[in-house]
Structure 1
Amino acid sequence: MAGIHFLEDHRTWVLTGGSSTYALRLDEDDVPTHVHWGPKLSTEDVPELLAKPLPRWDGFNDPNEGLDELAADGGTKYWTPALQVRFADGTRALEWRYRTHEITRDHLEIHFEDRHYPLRITLHYRLKTDVLERWTELAADTDVEVVRADSATWVLPVRDDYRLSHVTGRWAAETQLHRTSAAHGETTFASRRGITGHHANPWVMVDDGTATERHGEVYGVALAWSGSWRLTVTRSSTGRLTVCGGFGQDGVTHRVGPGNPLTTPVIAGLRTRGGFGAAGRAWHAYVREHVLPHPRELRPVLYNSWEATGFDVDEKNQRTLAERAAALGAELFVVDDGWFGARTGDHAGLGDWHVNRERFPGGLEPLVAAVHGLGMKFGIWVEPEMVNPDSDLYRTHPDWVLHQLHRRRSQLRNQLVLNFARPDVRRWAHDWLDRLVGDHGVDFLKWDMNRPFSEAGWPGDADPDRLWVEHTRAVYALLDRLRHDHPRLRIEACSGGGGRIDLGMLARADQVWTSDNTDALDRLRIQHGYGQLYPARAMSAWVTDNPNFVTGRSMPLRFRFHVAMAGVLGIGGDIVHWPGEDLALARELIALYKDIRPVVQHGALYRLRPPVDDGIVAFQYVHEDRAVVFAYRQAAHFAAPERPLRLDGLASADRYIDSDAGTTHSGAVLLTRGLPLGLPTGDFASRVVRLKRIDR
């Protein structure tokens, strides 16, 4: 039976979702101890798993080590600690004592305290179908220094081997997928930058080394946090593997005391069968249904002015672009950087959020009215967390930025980071954002953040380390407040491209800017890594000009469109100078995208041929009675004959009609022999196939 149950005689809790069961118990010392995470079990089956702890092998090896639900430092526990505390008298070890628990439908709270010190710990478990969300609360009656506070420790079943899947990257090369054998010892994925980061992302998947796209058991853990973070995979010589994770980094501590509790971010876990494809679809369903603010919406086709005008923004050129974008079928027009203050480049003006009257003599109102009159929504770029030293704001409030005494203030992109942990900075940011949205009828904010933290200090504050957590929480609170006060407002999260993509930001952003690299060939790989966990419904993807500004590569317009149409379609080129045939093709493909958009944004993704080489890449979305197949030839070699593409996710007993060719296909044949692609000849060839289920 699905739900949460307490087996009082065994001091065991059983949490059962759609196809998985999770169980934990209290050991003889009241330590919360892992029992099971795996296939669905009945509550009657679970007691059979409650074997007595094994005796120590010797003075150095404990076969039960690594089973704690929140591995705490202390005693003879030497596993990677998820919780480290230091009491005022220097004591570090934690000794658990169970107090009580509460079960409210899908939510379990288990309350503990330390046996001697006034520290209280609450472990939270919340079921979302087959995803289990976990987090921890700490509270104390006297000041306690918390050296490390991860959200949870996840204990995986013992397997003969373990393989890790994760992504790495850099600016313009985010989310590159890697699958490697788990090393013995500790493997840590982390960001110390104050943001999620381009170089890694806070999730990891684990399998036994045999899982494929379609077969095998896969476990995944993902952290909902947009600041500095850490995930540690620990593999012991005894064969056990755990994953613990949370916010924070080495050298940064938290203080807990009267009136100052600490709540860690959610860390979500998911176990699936059916390989990496099933894991991805389950994560996508979870994000769409339980994370995104408006899961049922369809994201509009967007036009952004950045690549057309750069910083050279004025009312006239934006009106011209808006008229051309509306004629193509765009539904949202976004003015990018350069509309405010002395912002004629990236060297000045950031922080002075007032309309540049030389560029917009009548303010933004005439342009907003023109865009709305063209039948489009109006959006605008902002970067609230940053300031240029060459700005009125910085000259007035130099103390508002992150800084340390007697240390330089390092600039990146000529910017410094504002300290959003400060109440005065938060009030200032809310005031101008609230006016911008409310006074001008802004429908959409592109919220950017173009550099990581440095010199992250807060001189004069009694607890300067708290800024690492409170900055991110202040950003969350501001986004939440803007949404509440302006229910029609929609938001895109950006951080120099994909530097702030995570479950925490997706709970507040309707879409995310995946990468500053819009090169369609590179995007196939970036989007492949992104899609391991995050859904197309939130993946912003643009069609831009030839040659691409990052790579210098030129590709056919149809290929560029087909790659961007696999997510939330946007246009970012200088469309005023596109030739007539390109404009005509763009109108045709935008209309096609609007037809397939429900399938792409709400459908289940099947990765048919991933981008592991430079040959064919193909994937498919299935939603209700429709399927959309995307196929791309990156490079043609040796005149190799084209093979049919085996599809997935269809009903073998049904028939499907190709909406463009008019041909019908047996579902069974499409699943076994495959679909003839009929790609055009040559490199950078692509095709989109629309299939609809019909009665036999």
Structure 2
Amino acid sequence: MTHHWRLDDGRQTLVLAARGGSLPECVYWGAALPGGENLETLVAAHALDVTGGMLDETPGLSLCPEAARSFPGQPGLVLRDGGGTPLQPRFSFAETREKDSGLHLVYRDAATGIGLTFRFKPDLETHVITCETTLNADRPVHLHWLAAPVLPAPHLSDELIDVAGRWCGEFQLIRTPWSAGLRARESRTGRSGHEHFPGLIIPARGTTNTQGEAYGFHYGWSGGHRMLAEELPDGRRQVQFGHATGSQTTPGTQFQTAPLYLAYSNTGLNGCAVAFQRHARDRIIHQPNRTRPVHYNCWEAVYFDHKLPDLQDIATRAASLGAERFVLDDGWFGRRDDDTSSLGDWQVDARKYPEGLGPLINHVHALGMTFGLWFEPEMVNENSDLFRAHPDWVLGPMDQMRGRQQLVLNLARGDVRDHLYARIAAILSDHAVEYIKWDHNRVLPMPDAAQTSGSYALIDRLRADFPQVEIESCASGGGRIDFGILQRTQRVWLSDSNDALERLRIQHDAALFLPGSVTGSHVGPRHCHTSGRSLDISMRAWVAAQRHMGFEMDPRELTEHEAKVLADVTRWWKGNRDWLMRADILRLDSADPAVIAELQLAQGGSRFVTFAAKAATSAQISPRPLRLTGLEPMTTYRIDLINRSAAPGLSRGSPALKRGPLDVSGAYLMGHGVTLPWHFPETMWVLEGTRL
């Protein structure tokens, strides 16, 4: 007997099948199939031949590959009973449930009392399929590894793209050739991590940003996680995602993976990117349609040196440049003069603010800006009143390595969460705080899924009681970015690097998963504090304008010219943000490796903006045409270079775009491309397009 199930979202089809009551496997995942496709035939066509040196049957690559059924690769489940004896269940079909437009497949092993439930839900608008696995047991068991539903990887693929990184260098795309054996990525730092963003894209042979097939995965979990991409001896390929191995530290009767988000594309990497962008913006994030204010953060202006007159002066200058939100960063609480003290003491420092935060907040509000405040609730300094009162609240042993002079609070404990909630809620109740920058500046001493669940519970409680307060996820920049934390926050701080050249590349690659509306990007100081590089204000401003725009520098350093340029770019961003923050970000295939370019396309396709940044010196003299994407071939567009006045003196010719707008077809713009004027490295052209 064969069971089969089909899921469709209008762009991709997923077909699951199970023979003889065994666990189901994916027999098709790819472009949408015809409605009348015979699934019995697909199941039969999926079967592999058997030859010498093999078992008499091919073990199924199921949604949870079972070691007990001779599967030759990494199993999808590793667990022990309460006494430590390994368990190897053999699951059989129990029931199918169709619920909330989704599919639930229930399997059970009567001998061990273990059950598995696989859930799938396609989204007809974002074209993302969400799936997860739940394990139930009749008695407590120790879980070492549980994979979200395991999917096959395509055969017509030569490489996989996963994501590495570091502090101030997040979202580095790593291309690894497929070969026999295992590619494993594991974050054991207790957060999604600078080093191991939980995402994977598998391109088919010949795929680029704009053309070809690609298969995308994202694991929506903010704690330690693991990814496996394995090519089996018989040539099949599997992909597994789950919590970090061993991070479930206590026995239990129920365990659940985080959601695994799946996207198929036949329009290059951009198809996966747009699906993930839309799903994050429209399904994951609460209040995604709120107008995004121009953001000002005072950290790189004052650091810990808080003086009310200086902060009021800075706020006045930021408002004059166009800022609409002022965020007071680290240093306002306890006796916080550096990073060695006071984490956990969430009370206003009376030395710095003898009248409390009221005078600063009132000044900010009088300027027409909202007010935000920095917290790092999950951490504690040993030099703090909280630690002296409750050293037992620390996660892990006391002889652990310190990180940034701090330890981690054990948020699996209800009393710890209650204390933190009370302190933060008191600040939010007593002050007109509309925004929290929620930081997480060190890794955990060991992977611990309960810590992540506790962090979620604390944020969820605060959001329920203070729904008007927006929260940004920061973890030394991009150390905690994923759909799990974005279910609870509205913005991410992508990187601590405010170097526009570095930020350009980081946010370009992050767009494979993140929409512009949640991706904070700030104009940094003239002399970048993390790279030592100095960049022109125009480059800094336009890079910030590619995402949710803000400033993070001392506005008192600006010359009259710099202030004008920044105010002009900010004014442009404000005039376009309503459609930009809902636009699809499409990465462009650049014929010049020195150029990093993207096109942001409005919903409905009526307008777009192209950012073409020259990150390095080109090998050739003349700019190569830049092909656009996502346009209607037979439609005419008016394109205009809005910053043509930035052309340098060495640009001595008169290409058409230097003189004025052009009316050309989408076919021309996508087939030949637009020829931009010559420009220096570390500068950017900004091209607006309108459908006529």
Q: What's the TM-score once normalised by structure 1's chain length? A: 0.92
Cα distance change of structure 1 residues 383 and 215 upon mapping to structure 2, 3 Å threshold = same
Q: Deviations over 1:337-393 (max 9, x none)?
A: 000001000011111110001111111122212212211111111100111111111
Q: What is the aligned partner in structure 2 of residue 294 from structure 1? A: 287
Q: Deviations over 1:611-669 (max 9, x none)?
A: 984x2222111104111111222334577112332222222333333464762412233
Q: What is the aligned partner in structure 2 of residue 685 from structure 1? A: 683
Cα distance change of structure 1 residues 186 and 637 upon mapping to structure 2, 3 Å threshold = closer
Matched, 1:144 2:146: no
Q: What is the aligned partner in structure 1 of residue 520 from structure 2? A: 540
- 1:195-206 alignment runs, 5 A limit: 195-206=191-202
Q: What is the aligned partner in structure 2 of residue 585 from structure 1? A: 565
Q: What is the aligned partner in structure 2 of residue 504 from structure 1? A: 484
Shift in Å, 1:160: 4.6
Shift in Å, 1:530: 0.9
Query: Does the residue aligned with 1:355 lie in a helix, a strand or coil?
Result: coil
Q: What is the aligned partner in structure 2 of residue 323 from structure 1? A: 316
Q: What is the aligned partner in structure 1 of residue 180 from structure 2? A: 184
Q: CA RMSD in A?
A: 2.1
**Higher alpha-carbon deviation: 159-168 or 632-641:** 632-641
Query: Does the residue aligned with 1:492 lie in a helix, a strand or coil?
Result: strand
Shift in Å, 1:425: 0.7
Looking at structure 2, the residues matched to 646 and 39 of structure 1 have their Cα atoms a distance apart, in angstroms, of 25
Cα distance change of structure 1 residues 170 and 62 upon mapping to structure 2, 3 Å threshold = farther
Q: What is the aligned partner in structure 1 of residue 416 from structure 2? A: 425
Shift in Å, 1:561: 0.8
- 1:397-546 alignment runs, 5 A limit: 397-404=390-397, 408-454=399-445, 456=446, 468-546=448-526
Query: Does the residue aligned with 1:143 lie in a helix, a strand or coil?
Result: strand
Shift in Å, 1:189: 1.1
Shift in Å, 1:426: 0.7
Out of 341, 352, 355, the residue aligned to residue 348 of structure 1 is 341
Q: What is the aligned partner in structure 1 of residue 621 from structure 2? A: 640
Query: Does the residue aligned with 1:179 lie in a helix, a strand or coil?
Result: strand
Cα distance change of structure 1 residues 12 and 673 upon mapping to structure 2, 3 Å threshold = closer
Q: What's the TM-score once normalised by structure 2's chain length? A: 0.92
Out of 364, 372, 377, the residue aligned to residue 379 of structure 1 is 372
Cα distance change of structure 1 residues 151 and 584 upon mapping to structure 2, 3 Å threshold = same
Query: Does the residue aligned with 1:593 lie in a helix, a strand or coil?
Result: helix
Q: What is the aligned partner in structure 2 of residue 174 from structure 1? A: 170
- Residue type matched to 1:653 in 2? M
Q: Which runs of 5+ in 1 are unaligned?
A: 1-8, 457-466
Looking at structure 2, the residues matched to 238 and 210 of structure 1 have their Cα atoms a distance apart, in angstroms, of 24
Shift in Å, 1:10: 4.0
Out of 600, 607, 613, the residue aligned to residue 621 of structure 1 is 600
Looking at structure 1, the residues matched to 176 and 583 of structure 2 have their Cα atoms a distance apart, in angstroms, of 29
Matched, 1:13 2:8: no
Cα distance change of structure 1 residues 88 and 684 upon mapping to structure 2, 3 Å threshold = closer
Q: What is the aligned partner in structure 2 of residue 5 from structure 1? A: none
Cα distance change of structure 1 residues 486 and 180 upon mapping to structure 2, 3 Å threshold = same
Looking at structure 1, the residues matched to 665 and 245 of structure 2 have their Cα atoms a distance apart, in angstroms, of 51
Looking at structure 2, the residues matched to 65 and 376 of structure 1 have their Cα atoms a distance apart, in angstroms, of 62
Looking at structure 1, the residues matched to 291 and 57 of structure 2 have their Cα atoms a distance apart, in angstroms, of 51
Q: What is the aligned partner in structure 1 of residue 97 from structure 2? A: 102
- Residue type matched to 1:676 in 2? T
Shift in Å, 1:29: 4.2
Q: How many residues align?
A: 667
Looking at structure 1, the residues matched to 52 and 23 of structure 2 have their Cα atoms a distance apart, in angstroms, of 22
Looking at structure 2, the residues matched to 63 and 132 of structure 1 have their Cα atoms a distance apart, in angstroms, of 31
Looking at structure 1, the residues matched to 682 and 203 of structure 2 have their Cα atoms a distance apart, in angstroms, of 34
Q: What is the aligned partner in structure 2 of residue 673 from structure 1? A: 672
Q: Percent identity?
A: 33
Cα distance change of structure 1 residues 63 and 335 upon mapping to structure 2, 3 Å threshold = farther
Looking at structure 2, the residues matched to 93 and 249 of structure 1 have their Cα atoms a distance apart, in angstroms, of 17
Q: 1:303, 1:325 within 8 Å by CA — same for their partners in 2? A: yes
Q: 1:66, 1:240 within 8 Å by CA — same for their partners in 2? A: no
Cα distance change of structure 1 residues 586 and 319 upon mapping to structure 2, 3 Å threshold = same
Q: Deviations over 1:414-447 (max 9, x none)?
A: 0001110011111111111222222212111000
- Residue type matched to 2:568 in 1? E
Out of 98, 110, 118, the residue aligned to residue 113 of structure 2 is 118
Shift in Å, 1:596: 2.6
Shift in Å, 1:673: 3.2
- Residue type matched to 2:496 in 1? D
Cα distance change of structure 1 residues 247 and 611 upon mapping to structure 2, 3 Å threshold = farther
Looking at structure 1, the residues matched to 251 and 36 of structure 2 have their Cα atoms a distance apart, in angstroms, of 39
Query: Does the residue aligned with 2:320 lie in a helix, a strand or coil?
Result: helix
- Residue type matched to 1:24 in 2? L
Q: 2:264, 2:271 within 8 Å by CA — same for their partners in 1? A: no
- Residue type matched to 1:141 in 2? D
- Residue type matched to 1:485 in 2? D
Query: Does the residue aligned with 2:433 lie in a helix, a strand or coil?
Result: coil
Q: Which runs of 5+ in 2 are unaligned?
A: 643-658
Shift in Å, 1:244: 0.6
Q: What is the aligned partner in structure 1 of residue 29 from structure 2? A: 37
Matched, 1:306 2:283: no
Q: 1:37, 1:156 within 8 Å by CA — same for their partners in 2? A: no
Cα distance change of structure 1 residues 253 and 353 upon mapping to structure 2, 3 Å threshold = closer
Shift in Å, 1:326: 0.9
Q: 2:7, 2:15 within 8 Å by CA — same for their partners in 1? A: yes
Q: What is the aligned partner in structure 1 of residue 633 from structure 2? A: 652
Shift in Å, 1:287: 1.5
Shift in Å, 1:54: 5.0
Shift in Å, 1:395: 0.7
Looking at structure 2, the residues matched to 628 and 62 of structure 1 have their Cα atoms a distance apart, in angstroms, of 58
Cα distance change of structure 1 residues 408 and 525 upon mapping to structure 2, 3 Å threshold = same
Q: 1:88, 1:144 within 8 Å by CA — same for their partners in 2? A: yes
